[in-house]
Amino acid sequence: MNRAPSHRRRFGIGLALGLLLGVGLSALLLVGARRTDARVRGEREAIVTLNAFADVVERAGISGDAVRSAVASWAKAHPSVGAVRVIVLDGISLEASTEPADAGDRAAPRRLARDEKALYDRAQRLRTAVETNRQEGAPRKVEIDVERLEGGALDLARPVERDGEVVGMAEIRTGPPPSPPPFPVGTVLLYLFVPLAAYALAALIFRERRAPLAVAAFALLAGALFLFARQTLSTLEADRLATERAVAARATEEARLAPTLPGVAAAGLDPAKWDTDVFRRPRGAAAGTPPGGAERRGRNVFFGVALAALALTAFFGFGVAARLGRVLSRHHVAYFYVLPSMLAMVVLVIFPFLYGVAISFTDQTIYNTGEPLTRLWTGIDNYREILSDFSITTRAPDGSRVFNYQNFYWTLGFTIVWTVTNVAIGVSVGLFLALILNTAGLKLRPIYRVLLILPWAMPNYITSLIWKGMFHRQFGVVNQMIQIFGGRPVSWFDTPFTSFLTVLSTNGWLSFPFMMVISLGALQSIPGEIYEAARVEGASRWRQFRAITLPSLKPALIPAIIISVVWTFNMFNIIFLVSEGEPAHSTEILITQAYKFAFQQYRYGYAAAYSVIIFLILFAYGTVQNRVTRATEGI
Amino acid sequence: MARRSRDEFPHPPLHAILLIATLITVYPILWVVTIALSGKQSLAIADIPAQPTVSDRIRAVIPWPEKVSMANFTSVMTDQPFGRWLVNSAIVSAATTLLGIFLAATAGYAFSRFRFPGRRTGLMSFLVSQMFPGVLTLIPLYIIVVKWLGLGSTRTGLVLVYTTTAIPFCVWMLKGYFDTIPRDLEEAAMIDGASPIVIFRRIVLPLAKPAIAVTALFSFMTGWNEFILGATLMDKETMYTAPVGLRFFVGGFQQQWGYFAAGAIIVSIPIVALFFFLQRYLVSGLTAGSVKG
């Protein structure tokens, strides 16, 4: 148990695990990338074939015997293509088909049967897509529908047009794809064993000297990973070139075939137009992503993997793992019990929080969520934008002052006012009612108590929606009551002040029961003899309240106030559902404003920075509060 | 208890104040009951003529429907998908409860009984996590749950998220309770050769039944009342939970106040009942937690 640790063994294990992680992960990534590439290549080739086929169909006139003979010859020249079909929307007819099922009395041309509605729908969908894209002048809906069938074959469809108008659909089904590239077992084993053998050799020379062993292990690991990465990147580059060549070859072959088909005019055939994306935009060098980007990303990935592998090696080599292992085994029961909940917290609370903090340093919006965060990094720009903008008011063109309600400091000020007024109302109403309820011998007390707690018991989103309804301009009961007394109906959500009153009354209604229950509990724990003694001494009722009641309430009320400040500060539902921030975001609190930035303006980075600031405010509050309560407890 | 009555306030004015306070408190609830029983979708209690008299207006604020009808209750459960939403909510809340108790009981026990490196950090991390603004974690949670785990519009995704919302409170609550259980029994069992798992299951859990009941109810309420995460993670209308569905009735351009009111009452009754059962513990738990914080 207590023999000296072997540096040789530790670095050996570290190197082995580092290699396993580094090479293994890189190999997995390589295979994944190659499989994706192969799939993309298959799709591109299929799209070229489809476009060529559609071109043939359009040139043969789309409907009639001419098309059927052209399609038949085309299919004969493509033994690898599973089946093709041509649908014409006008008349809902199957114009041509080489589908095995479409033989005998189901042979084309014929009207589509009822059970073939999916085909017709597909053609319709494509026609709508083309029209939408043309109207909006932007590629919004895919014009080539690619479906992956079981076994990996593709089923593609695109519209066919006559004089710029979509009249039908051409469909092809490709044959089964070539088998995907295998996992490079031999290469991986080579990269595992050669460095390990070299390390064994080094270990023989260096014996138990730690520094040279560490250098040897790290150098071998780094060297192996570097070579492997280089080989991988060149493989991927070769794949890319092969794809380009294969696609070009496909197009050339189609271009050679097309004019030989019966009834197909050869004039103006342009094979370069066939290599398109799913929006039928040509995939020239300009349209595609620059190849350098992919390569750089590949390098970054390898760099990350290598760092992780080196860290793993160091972790084992320097004995951290051994120490950790000892701690874990000594306390294994405790960790076993804590693990499930910690895991859940890490995955669904702590990681999202850190990820949110990371987003706050980027300018992520809904439009660039696909990009890695490193590419969107803007440093502290969001924070500077939020915190350095002091212009709560701006001058309108006519010289009058206009409030900018989305300014951070306005919202912060409003949040503070909101919190203070609410807690004040909650405490005073709650305490007042508690004092009354605490009167000795009061009848019906349990009934009052239950009824007065009801608002706390109701789910607060329901409460909010109820009050929203009651403040309705035309039908709400609040305006009806005002009119009973001869007042005019108020448009509650049209000015910041009245809007504030609605959320204030809702939250006041909602929050006083908590304070009441807390105060009542504390009041009931004050022994009656104290009051007795005070009365004997001749203390006035006010003096009794000041000298006995309030001090006894303090230990219960202060924590309750502290926690209700946090609750009110973050009271999302009331603001979000009652005033909805109206008018013009003037009654947003920080938390709802952050939500609006995220889910109405879709500025994720900005909203995240906003939320981090909220967190920091609360954290500062918590720390100060903690210190204050500790100080008061000390007294 | 009995004190000399001449030193007390006279009771009638106190009753008057309490009566008014109670009336204000109960009015919104009576209002929603009235709308639910009106059989109509309007949020007005009574129709007001073009030239209303004062009595018309008074009629419009008295929380009693012109005609009592159960139509809103029957049609919200049959014509509207509200029944389905209720089932979703019930399943999600029940699963949250089970998972929450399992996680909180094991962790709370370890935090109470064992001293191990990371114990303080773990306990504090539960507490600090309560301070994370929900909006900040909402976007990453959406990405993790919907895009990475593929659990968008599923009950499983919602259960996982709700459970992690509920467990910090539950862990602290249960840890506090376990602390009060004397260790003699466990030590005796340990001498008899019982394994820690057996001790936990056979001795500690049965003793902690009251605290576990409270955490169970708390977890259930978390799942049953949550609105914003549900609205964010559940895209499909058939997968809405009851809160999301209720908002759907009166949010945006929908103005189905009758359905909303009936649904609100159906949703509230169990939770209000639970609440009255629970509130004693809630109060002590919350204040205890904040003092420790």
Q: Which residues of A touch B2 (CB under 8 A)?
A: 440-441
Nearest to A611 among B114, B133, B163 (CB): B133
Angle at the Cα of B77 from the Cα atoms of B73 and B79, rounded to 5 degrees: 105
Across the range A278-302, mean pLDDT stands at 67
Across the range A1-28, mean pLDDT stands at 82
Distance in Å, alpha carbon of A353 to nearest chain B alpha carbon: 5
Question: Is the model's pLDDT at B221 over the cut of 80?
Answer: yes
Is A608 within 8 Å of B139 when comparing Cβ atoms?
yes
Say what the pLDDT of residue B276 is.
Answer: 81
CA A9 from centre of chain: 44
CA A328 from centre of chain: 34
- A 456-485 residues with CB below 8 A of B? 456-463, 465-470, 472, 475-477, 480-481, 483-484
Domain boundaries, chain B: 11-69, 79-292
Task: Assign B280 a pLDDT band (cuts: 50, 70, 90).
Answer: low
Could you give the CA distance from residue B170 to residue B223 in angstroms, rounded to a whole number? 14
Percent with pLDDT over 70 in chain A: 96
Question: Is the model's pLDDT at A68 over the cut of 60?
Answer: yes
Question: Is the model's pLDDT at A424 over the cut of 90?
Answer: yes
Query: Chain A residue with minimal CA distance to B196?
Result: A333
Between A288-292, A403-407, A430-434, B123-127, the lowest mean confidence (pLDDT) is in A288-292
Contact B224, A459 (CB under 8 A): yes
Query: Chain B residue with minimal CA distance to A607?
Result: B136
Could you give the CA distance from residue A565 to residue A562 in angstroms, rounded to a whole number? 5
Strands A145-148 and A110-111: unpaired
Could you give the CA distance from residue B101 to residue B97 in angstroms, rounded to a whole number? 6
Task: Assign B282 a pLDDT band (cuts: 50, 70, 90).
Answer: low
Q: How far is CA A612 from CA A54, A592, B88, in A?
A: 55, 14, 33
Q: Does B9 touch chain A (CB under 8 A)?
A: yes
Q: Which residues of A touch B276 (CB under 8 A)?
A: 450, 453, 457
Q: Which residues of A touch B228 (CB under 8 A)?
A: 572-573, 576, 595
Q: Does A616 touch chain B (CB under 8 A)?
A: no
Task: Assign A107 a pLDDT band (cuts: 50, 70, 90).
Answer: confident
Across the range B160-187, mean pLDDT stands at 86
Question: Is the model's pLDDT at A81 over the cut of 60?
Answer: yes
What the block records as the tokens of A624 is 């100060």
Could you give the CA distance from residue A485 to residue A92 in angstroms, rounded to a whole number? 69
Query: Chain B residue with minimal CA distance to A339?
Result: B107
Mean pLDDT in chain B? 82
- A 482-501 residues with CB below 8 A of B? 483-484
Check: CATH 3.30.450.30 for A62-174?
A: yes
Instruction: State the CB neighbour count (10 A cutoff) for residue A180.
Output: 13
Nearest to B132 among A337, A353, A562 (CB): A353
Say what the pLDDT of residue A522 is.
Answer: 84
Question: Is the model's pLDDT at A316 over the cut of 60?
Answer: yes
Query: Chain A residue with minimal CA distance to B108?
Result: A338
Across the range B270-280, mean pLDDT stands at 79
Distance in Å, alpha carbon of A305 to nearest chain B alpha carbon: 20
- B 206-235 residues with CB below 8 A of A? 224-225, 227-228, 232
Say what the pLDDT of residue B283 is.
Answer: 59
Walk across the sheet containing A145-148 and list its strands. Answer: A110-111, A93-97, A81-88, A165-174, A154-162, A145-148
| Angle (deg, nearest 10), helices A550-569 and B257-292 | 120
Question: Is the model's pLDDT at B293 over the cut of 50?
Answer: no
Could you give the CA distance from residue A548 to residue A231 in angstroms, rounded to a whole number? 82
Contacts of B287 (CB under 8 A, 6+ apart): A518, A556, A559, A560, A563
Q: Which residues of A touch B1 (CB under 8 A)?
A: 440, 528
- A335: nearest Cα among B113, B195, B203: B113
Containing A393, the helix (H) or strand (E) segment is strand A393-395
Instruction: Give the end-to-end CA distance of chain A in Å, rounded to a whole number.
Output: 52
Is A611 within 8 Å of B246 when comparing Cβ atoms?
no
Could you give the CA distance from residue A440 to residue A435 in angstroms, rounded to a whole number? 10
Contact A154, A42 (CB under 8 A): yes
Task: Assign A390 a pLDDT band (cuts: 50, 70, 90).
Answer: confident
Question: Is the model's pLDDT at A137 over the cut of 70?
Answer: yes
Domain boundaries, chain A: 7-37+185-273+285-352, 62-174, 409-587
Write phi, then psi, for A94 (nearest 5 degrees): -90, 110
Contacts of B61 (CB under 8 A, 6+ apart): A477, A480, A481, A484, B45
Across the range A133-159, mean pLDDT stands at 86
- Give residue-wise pLDDT tens across range A459-510: 888 888 889 888 888 888 888 888 888 788 888 888 889 999 999 999 999 8
Give bridge partners of residue A147 from the DSSP assignment: A155
Q: Does B136 touch chain A (CB under 8 A)?
A: yes
Could you give the CA distance from residue A554 to residue A559 in angstroms, rounded to a whole number? 9
Q: Which residues of B touch A519 (CB under 8 A)?
A: none
Say what the pLDDT of residue B8 is.
Answer: 64
Is the whole model's pTM more than 0.90, yes or no? no
- Give residue-wise pLDDT tens across range B88-147: 999 999 999 999 999 999 999 988 888 888 888 888 888 778 777 777 788 888 888 887
Across the range A564-589, mean pLDDT stands at 86
What the block records as the tokens of A293 is 């980007």
Mean pLDDT in chain A? 85
Instruction: State the CB neighbour count (10 A cutoff) for residue A620.
Output: 10
DSSP state of A584: T
Between A396-405, A557-566, B139-148, the lowest mean confidence (pLDDT) is in A396-405
| Class of domain A409-587 (CATH, top level) | mainly alpha
The architecture (CATH level 2) of B79-292 comes to Orthogonal Bundle (1.10)
What the block records as the tokens of B143 is 């990405």
Q: Which residues of A touch B143 (CB under 8 A)?
A: 355, 369
Nearest to A465 among B7, B45, B247 (CB): B247
Question: Is the model's pLDDT at B3 over the cut of 50?
Answer: no
Between A216-230, A284-298, A558-572, the lowest mean confidence (pLDDT) is in A284-298
Which one has a higher pLDDT value, B67 or A196?
A196
Nearest to B140 among A327, A333, A352 (CB): A352
Q: Which residues of A touch B134 (CB under 8 A)?
A: 570, 572, 591
- What is the interface pTM, i.e. ipTM, of the complex? 0.83
Across the range A155-160, mean pLDDT stands at 91
Task: Assign A429 a pLDDT band (cuts: 50, 70, 90).
Answer: very high
Nearest to A598 among B2, B43, B139 (CB): B139
- Give residue-wise pLDDT tens across range A37-59: 888 888 888 999 999 999 888 88
Distance in Å, alpha carbon of A532 to nearest chain B alpha carbon: 9
Contact A561, A388 (CB under 8 A): no
Instruction: State the CB neighbour count (10 A cutoff) for residue B50.
Output: 4
- A469: nearest Cα among B255, B36, B37, B46: B255
Across the range A334-341, mean pLDDT stands at 88
- A405: nearest Cα among A581, A200, A185, A591: A581
- Give residue-wise pLDDT tens across range B26-55: 999 988 888 888 888 877 777 777 777 777
Across the range A329-354, mean pLDDT stands at 87
- B 251-280 residues with CB below 8 A of A? 257, 260, 264, 267-268, 271-272, 275-276, 279
Question: Is the model's pLDDT at A7 over the cut of 50?
Answer: yes
What the block records as the tokens of B71 is 């139509």
